Amino acid sequence: MVDAAPPPPNTVEAVVVYPPRLKPLGGEAVFSAVQIAPEVLKETPRLDQALESAPGVSLFRRTTSLSANPTTQGVSLREIAGSGAGRALVTLDGAPVNDPFGGWVIWSALPSEGIEGATIVRGAGAGPYGAGALTGVINLQERAARDGLGAFDASVGERQAYRAAVSGGTKDVLLTVSGESNNGYTPVRGPSRGAADTPLDLEDANAAVRIQHSFGTVQAALRMEVFEERRGAGLAGARSTAKGDAETLTLAQPAGDGIGGWRLQAWARGSDLANSSVSVAANRATTTPANNEFSTPAQGYGLNAAWQGRQGDVSWELGADARWAMGTDHELFKVANGQFTMGREAGGQTFVGGVYLDADYASGPWLVTGGARIDQWTSKDAQRKEFLLSTGAVTLNNPSPNASGTVPTGRLGVRYSVDDDLWLRAAAYAGFRAPTLNELHRPFRVGNDVTEANPLLRPEKLDGVEVGIGGDQFAGARFNWQGTVFYNELKDPVTNVTIGIGPGTFAALPIAGFIPAGGTLRQRQNAGQIDAWGLEGDANGEIFTALSWRAAFSYTHARVDGKSAAPQLTGLKPAQTPAWVVTTGLDWRAMDKLTLSSSVRFVSEQFDDDQNTRRLPPGAEWDGRAAWSLGPGEELYLAIDNIADAHISTGKTADFTDSWSEPRTVRVGFSYRR
């Protein structure tokens, strides 16, 4: 007699609940799009560094969010011209995460443990992306909710670095929390360093919760977050604090399968930046207080709506969005006998809103997409008041006239599949970005360099064309690859234009006051036009099952045509614009439990100023990671950033003192992903 086989164990299917989303139209395949996979996010705890694995993605300066001041964390796509405000729109499941005052992104508030993936679309975004996607859009997708732990990471490293992040909950609630502390490194090294040079220490913390529920076929989600980071600026007496909150309410009824349905979203985002700056003695032994921006409260609000449908081979999306921003900069400045003597209040309000129609036609090997939108922008209630702290007497009352305009934009593209392994595409587009409150109203100081605001700035506009080719096979070898050639014209770029070199005051801009020796006076201006053409490509594949590789590059030839606005800049490279960016990576499963990963990022020379006098030499950083599997999704890891301890120049002052990137750094930690 044979015993009956035991019954199979009970299995419970895991319930995974994604945030309310409409399926994107298929036309995204017509443009230069790159996916950032969860594996990249796992290996790189800082989201901005993970995104930089795609060449063309860059913060304003070479520093990462580990050491960058919040005002330099604006992100741009393609190396057309760097900007502290950023020239790319960053969204989290449809809601913008760009700061309402400055346009930058506080990356420490977006731990990679809470992000499932990212789609980077290069090229001006019309259609559903809206204003601000001047050089493209980075669309982040938040992690799905499920019962239990979804992601966890804890690490310790050199310079007393500690970091922990966790994401998990239930199928109806997702909670993501992270915190970090780091004593930092001193950016000025060697004989140039003085007693005034201090470490770029960092402390940050954030928490976000998403509550979601389905009411029949309608999905609803409420997301709330708070964040704060505190940083040293590398000079005694210079620090910054950025804090804020965000709320997003989303209602959606997606189609049961494929394109269709509707989405309605409302969001609010608050922020407050405090930033103190100092002037530096010639021998870098001491600093003197120069400016204390003690509060910059700002608030942004927005609405967006979309309605999708399909008719035969045509799918479409009709939508509208609107964004409001208001904020005021509160500062102390002008020091006498070690004390601030003047106060300043500067700020205003901005609005941008538009309607759009996007449509795709897919038939056989052909995919055609087109979109058009029209936006209205306004800038109003601009004020700048300066007063004596001792008496309150107003010494400057400089309101600016309201401004407004209407901007039509659009995009058109086509993709043709030659066969299953080869495709061709071409696209043309136009986009715009309205200046931020920060660019319009807030002057700032870094060391002895002063940059003045300009309430008369006009929106930036970009026109571009590109052609691309790609596939899943090349010369008989199977791997994914794509390449693009593009040409862009950036009109009225907001540029920090040099007015004069200190010491002294300058008649062209007397409002700035005295500029000390070794300092430079600049003002944000619409500096003519930037013409840029370039090449970009990426590929990835496997050499054998246990060894995978990836490589990508971008080459951009960008030059300024200052026209009558800034003729002195004609023929020069835009500041913070390298010609070449190259990234490579290898992942080797050396043993069943051991995985070794390595990556290199190379950036060619660029200039830290509009005059092309402060040259930043080329540099390359080599990073490595070894992970030992403890079980499904669990691993211990050792990571070494900047293995070769390369000295990469990240900034240069008027007296040619260099700031350098982070030195070799070793981290050990535990990671879990499900």
| pLDDT one-digit tens code per residue, 278-294 | 988 889 999 999 889 99
11 domain-assigned: no
Amino acid at 217: T
pLDDT band at 2 (very low <50, low <70, confident <90, very high): very low
253 domain-assigned: yes
Q: In the prediction, which pLDDT does 3 show?
A: 47
How many domains does the chain fold into? 1
Percent of the chain's residues with pLDDT above 70: 97
Write the CB contacts of 440 (distance below 8 Å, at least 6 apart in sequence): 348, 350, 379, 382, 453, 454, 455, 457
pLDDT band at 368 (very low <50, low <70, confident <90, very high): very high
Residue 637 near residue 607 (C-beta atoms within 8 A): no
Q: In the prediction, which pLDDT does 345 show?
A: 95
pLDDT single digits (tens) 199-242: 999 999 999 999 999 999 999 999 999 999 999 999 999 999 99
15 domain-assigned: no
Q: 144-153, 248-257, 517-526, 569-578: lowest mean pLDDT where?
A: 517-526
Please report, for the domain that includes residue 426, its CATH number. 2.40.170.20
- Decide if pLDDT at 126 tops 70: no
Residue 411, phi-psi category: left (phi > 0), alpha (psi -120 to 50), beta (remainder): beta
Residue 119 near residue 107 (C-beta atoms within 8 A): no
Q: What are phi and psi of 157, to 5 degrees?
A: -155, -175
- The pTM (predicted TM-score) of the whole model is 0.92
Mean pLDDT calculated for residue range 283-312: 94
- The Cα-based distances of 39 to 36, 473, 587, 637, 647 in angstroms read 8, 23, 11, 14, 28
Percent of the chain's residues with pLDDT above 90: 71
What does the mean pLDDT of the chain come to?
Answer: 91
More confident residue, 110 or 336: 110
Q: In the prediction, which pLDDT does 1 show?
A: 38
Mean pLDDT calculated for residue range 353-370: 95
- Decide if pLDDT at 7 tops 70: no
370 domain-assigned: yes
Q: In the prediction, which pLDDT does 124 show?
A: 84
pLDDT single digits (tens) 628-674: 999 999 999 999 999 999 999 999 887 889 999 999 999 999 999 98
pLDDT single digits (tens) 15-50: 888 889 898 888 888 988 888 888 888 888 789 999
pLDDT single digits (tens) 427-442: 999 999 999 999 999 8
Q: In the prediction, which pLDDT does 569 show?
A: 92
Mean pLDDT calculated for residue range 447-457: 86
Q: In the prediction, which pLDDT does 244 show?
A: 97
Handedness of CA 126, 129, 130, 136 (dihedral sign): negative
Mean pLDDT calculated for residue range 540-561: 93
Residue 547 belongs to what domain range?
A: 26-593+605-673
Mean pLDDT calculated for residue range 451-471: 93
1 domain-assigned: no
Pairing of β 297-311 and β 339-363: unpaired
492 domain-assigned: yes
7 domain-assigned: no
E strand spans, 389-475: 394-397, 403-419, 422-433, 444-446, 449-452, 460-474
407 domain-assigned: yes
Amino acid at 372: A
Q: In the prediction, which pLDDT does 500 show?
A: 85
Q: In the prediction, which pLDDT does 450 show?
A: 84
Residue 600 near residue 620 (C-beta atoms within 8 A): yes
Mean pLDDT calculated for residue range 420-431: 94
Residue 424: is it exposed, middle or buried by C-beta count within 10 angstroms (0-12/13-18/19+)? middle
